[in-house]
Structure 1
Amino acid sequence: MGDLTDTLSPPSTTPPAAAHSRPLPVREDCWSEDATSTLIDAWGSRYLELNRGNLRQKDWQDVADAVNALHGHTKKTHRTDVQCKNRIDTIKKKYKIEKARVSSSDGTLVSSWPFFERLDALIGSNVSVKKPPPQPSPSLSPSPPLAVPLYSKKTAPSPSTALVVLPQKRTVSAMDEGSFRRNYSAMAAAAAASAEDDVEDEDEEEEERESEEVEEIEGMRRLARAIETFGEVYERVEREKLMQMVELEKQRMQFAKDLEVQRMNMFMDTQVQLEKIKRGKRSRSNDLYS
Structure 2
Amino acid sequence: MAELQFSTPQPPPSRPLPFREDCWSEEATSTLVDAWGRRYLELNRGNLRQKDWQEVADAVNLRHGHTKKARRTDVQCKNRIDTLKKKYKVEKARVSESNGSVTSSWSFFSRLDCLIGSAVTAAKKAPIPIPLPPPLAVPLACRKPPGGMVVQPVVLPQKRPSPAVDDSYFRRNYSAVAAAAAAEEEEEDRSEDLGSSEETGGRRNGEAEGMRRLARAIEKLGEMYERIEGEKQRQMIELEKQRMQFAKDLEVQRMQLFMDTQVQLEKIKQAKRSGSNGERSLASKLNNHYCDQF
TM tier relative to shorter chain: 0.5 to 0.7
2:220 corresponding residue in structure 1 = 226
Structure 1 residues 251 and 49: alpha-carbon distance in aligned structure 2, compared to 1, 3 A threshold: closer
Gap runs ≥5 in structure 2:
1-14, 16-20, 99-105, 145-149, 285-294
Q: Tell me the amino acid that sits aligned with residue 171 of structure 1.
A: A
2:152 to 136, 156, 172: 156
Q: How far apart are residue 217 of structure 1 and its match?
A: 2.9
Q: How far apart are residue 71 of structure 1 and its match?
A: 3.1
Indicate whether 1:263 and 2:257 are aligned. yes
User: What is the SS of the residue equivalent to 1:223?
Assistant: helix
The answer (yes or no) to whether the contact 1:151–1:157 under 8 Å persists in 2 is: no
1:215 to 209, 213, 231: 209
The answer (yes or no) to whether the contact 1:44–1:122 under 8 Å persists in 2 is: yes
Q: Deviations over 1:190-243 (max 9, x none)?
A: 555445544444444443433333333333322222222222111111111111
Q: How far apart are residue 244 of structure 1 and its match?
A: 1.1
Structure 1 residues 38 and 149: alpha-carbon distance in aligned structure 2, compared to 1, 3 A threshold: same
The answer (yes or no) to whether the contact 1:35–1:67 under 8 Å persists in 2 is: yes
Give matches, 1:226-265, under 5 Å.
Answer: 226-265=220-259
Partners of 2:189 and 2:271 lie apart in 1 by 122
222-231 or 278-287, larger mean C-alpha shift: 222-231
Partners of 2:80 and 2:186 lie apart in 1 by 82
- TM-score by length of structure 2 reads 0.56
Structure 1 residues 245 and 284: alpha-carbon distance in aligned structure 2, compared to 1, 3 A threshold: same
Q: Tell me the amino acid that sits aligned with residue 276 of structure 1.
A: Q
Give matches, 1:40-119, under 5 Å.
Answer: 40-48=33-41, 52=45, 66-73=59-66, 77=71, 83=74, 91=81, 118=111
Gap runs ≥5 in structure 1:
1-19, 21-25, 136-141
Partners of 1:56 and 1:222 lie apart in 2 by 70
Structure 1 residues 265 and 116: alpha-carbon distance in aligned structure 2, compared to 1, 3 A threshold: farther
- TM-score by length of structure 1 reads 0.57
Structure 1 residues 263 and 118: alpha-carbon distance in aligned structure 2, compared to 1, 3 A threshold: farther
- Identity in percent: 30
Higher Cα radius of gyration: 2
CA RMSD, Structure 1 to Structure 2 (Å): 5.5
Q: How far apart are residue 167 of structure 1 and its match?
A: 6.0
Q: How far apart are residue 73 of structure 1 and its match?
A: 3.8
Structure 1 residues 69 and 94: alpha-carbon distance in aligned structure 2, compared to 1, 3 A threshold: closer
Q: How far apart are residue 75 of structure 1 and its match?
A: 7.2
Partners of 2:246 and 2:140 lie apart in 1 by 115
Partners of 1:275 and 1:89 lie apart in 2 by 109
Give matches, 1:20-59, under 5 Å.
Answer: 32=24, 35=28, 37-48=30-41, 52=45
**Number of residue pairs aligned between Structure 1 and Structure 2:** 245
Q: Tell me the amino acid that sits aligned with residue 220 of structure 1.
A: L
1:286 corresponding residue in structure 2 = 280
